[in-house]
Amino acid sequence: MTYDPDNIFAKILRGELPCAKLYEDAETFVFLDIMPRADGHCLVIPKTPCRNILDASPAQMAAVMATTQKMARAVMAAFDAPGVTLQQFNEAAGGQEVFHLHVHVLPRHDGDRLRPPGQMADPEVLAGHAEKIRAALAQI
């Protein structure tokens, strides 16, 4: 399995597609999922190419997980959530649809249920959520 440089997240990284950006550092980039299964659902990706955890280097894994921890804290604070769920899928059989490594970070409340997949969010709502999360990040 090879990396396709024209996958959606590679295009977002190159600025060829828009996104609700939340955070970036030298190794990682974070933006809101366009079909959020919970308010604040975001995606953490490495800036360098890899399909998933199967071809990622230890350095890519470490960078993505460090940023995932940061984003878990930020989305919990932004949405006053007592919990957080991480999801991570590898290859089609594992549920992966976009073949650039990513970790889903979803703030969770007691007894809530994730929305069904595939429901596009209103861009204005996403922009408001992004602002809340960026503000929370600034406090961390």
**Residues 16, 85: contact at Cβ < 8 Å?**
no
For the chain, state the CA radius of gyration: 14
Q: H or E stretch including 108?
A: strand 103-108
Place of tokens 């800036």: 47
Q: How far is the CB of 84 from ligand AMP (least distance, A)?
A: 16
The span of 53-61, 67-75, 89-97, 131-139 binding ligand AMP (CB under 6 A) equals 89-97
The site that binds ligand AMP (CB under 6 A) totals a number of residues, namely 13
Letter for the amino acid at 32? Answer: L
- Which x/- pattern over 26-55 shows residues binding ligand AMP (rule: CB under 6 A)? -------xxx-------x------------
- Residues 94 and 101: their CA atoms lie apart, in Å, by 13
Which of 41, 100, 102, 104 is catalytic? The answer is 102
Q: H or E stretch including 76?
A: helix 58-78
Residue 124 contacts ligand AMP per CB under 6 A: no
Residue 121 contacts ligand AMP per CB under 6 A: no
Q: How far is the CB of 89 from ligand AMP (least distance, A)?
A: 4
Select from 5, 82, 83, 95 the one that contacts ligand AMP (CB under 6 A): 95
3-state secondary structure of 42: strand
The catalytic residue positions are: 102
